[in-house]
Amino acid sequence: MFEADDFIPSKYTNSIDKGNFSWSAPSNIALVKYWGKKENQIPANPSVSFTLNNCKTITALAFTKKQNDGNFSFDLLFEGKPKEDFKPKIQKFLERVEVYLPFLKDYHFTIDTQNTFPHSSGIASSASGMAALAINFMSLEKALNPEMTEDYFISKASFLARLGSGSACRSVKGQVVVWGNQASIKGSTDLYGVEYPYEIHPVFKNFQDTILLVDKGEKQVSSTVGHDLMHNHPFAERRFAQAHENLDKLIPVFKNGDLDEFIKIVESEALTLHAMMMTSQPYFILMKPNTLQIINAIWKFRNDTKIPVCFTLDAGANVHVLYPNSVKEKVLQFIQAELVGYCQNGQYLCDEIGNGALLG
């Protein structure tokens, strides 16, 4: 396991004038939710997620050596066009990670980024976006320091991604990633995401996530504001303890493939996340009427057919429908027949569990 200080490099063996890399990083969907954080992006509780496969950010990083004048220098392109409004977030990220990547002011960067999912889909791109950028910087660091081990490369990429956006640290690896210190999970740490280290039942292989786009509008609550709501929240301590309990309960579930128990934990986590928002000060309801319609329809379908399909939610109105690959056809039929009508413009995205970031 690495400590934060292990990620501060002492010196680089190579020098490199210019070059470019390109990485894609996927989104991820949390089963046990991260909601609440301490200083320096340290999570208030551990979380676990499925890495996705299709919803991803592709980021190309070009770099040329410049005089170190004490400033960061970068151009930011989104889908090939300059995008000024993304720059402050990147600037802040560079400031946060500079101590770990001391070469940042020696280069001018062109960051060219695009998502495979529609821009205004309400799918957060911060996880995939920050992960893709962090890994690109690690490729440059590896060029400067080729001795670096694969474990260091991956762990530090996740560590840097976390400093950009907490959930981004779960987007570097697949297929199941734990972030946050959990006594029962070997190697788990608050500093970066790690691949879930124990047995996973084949029922989770190619597990499906169909994302129903209920509301594609701007986020009503930014994640910064959202996490802040857990400070002085009347139920915070109990909730953080519950996340540890749920993560422990998932260990045998992952092993034996008990989908009834999986469903109970995952749906409860989703509703608890929203319950936290509904009981904070100020309070928010981020579900829409159609979110509830979908949840009720899933419950009825599951009850009628005994097909193990469930939902989870992020901090918004969209619904992630989770189910094993073996029932894909039946669930997609159900979605098309009964749920598409609740989606904005009938839109939904089909995704599944994936393997993490890819070079090129």
Q: Does residue 33 interact with ligand DP6 by CB under 6 A?
A: yes
| Of the candidate residues 94, 298, 315, 331, the single one contacting ligand DP6 (CB under 6 A) | 315
The span of 162-170, 187-195, 257-265, 274-282 binding ligand DP6 (CB under 6 A) equals 162-170
- Shorter beta-carbon distance to ligand DP6: residue 63 or 117: 117
Which structure tokens are listed for 33? 């939710």
Q: Which amino acid is at 7?
A: F
Rounded CA separation 279/148 (Å): 46
Residue 30 binds ligand DP6 (CB under 6 A): yes
Min CB(33)–ligand DP6 separation in Å: 4
Of the candidate residues 53, 126, 182, 344, the single one contacting ligand DP6 (CB under 6 A): 126
Q: Which is nearer to ligand DP6, 51 or 155 (CB)?
A: 51
Which of 34, 93, 323, 348 is in the footprint of ligand DP6 by CB under 6 A?
34
Partners of 269 in beta bridges: none
Pairing between strand 73-78 and 81-82?
antiparallel
Pairing of β 319-323 and β 208-212: antiparallel
Q: Closest approach of Cβ 317 to ligand DP6, in Å? A: 12
The 3-state DSSP class for residue 109 equals strand
Q: Candidates 27-35, 69-77, 206-214, 325-333: pick the segment binding ligand DP6 (CB under 6 A).
A: 27-35
Kindly state the tokens that stand for 351. Answer: 């995704």
**Interface residue with ligand DP6, options 36, 46, 166, 308 (CB under 6 A):** 166
What is the nearest approach in angstroms of ligand DP6 to the Cβ of residue 146? 32
Preceding omega of 175 cis (within 30 degrees of 0): yes
Task: Kindly state the tokens that stand for 239.
Answer: 């909730």
Q: Which one of the spans 32-40, 66-74, 87-95, 102-110 is the region binding ligand DP6 (CB under 6 A)?
A: 32-40
Site residues for ligand DP6, window 200-229 (CB under 6 A)? 223-224, 227
Query: Binding to ligand DP6 by residue 121, rule CB under 6 A?
Result: no
| Contact between residue 321 and residue 331 where contact means Cβ atoms under 8 Å apart | yes
Measured from the CB atom, the residue of 127 and 331 that comes closer to ligand DP6 is 127
CA distance 170 to 148: 21
Tokens for 344? 């904005």
Distances (CA, A) of 190 to 42, 289, 341: 6, 36, 40
Residues β-bridged to residue 77: 82, 112
Written as six digits, the tokens of 162 are: 């976390």
Within 71-110, the residues that bind ligand DP6 by CB under 6 A are: none
Interface ranges with ligand DP6 (CB under 6 A)? 30, 33-35, 41, 47, 124, 126, 165-167, 223-224, 227, 273, 314-315
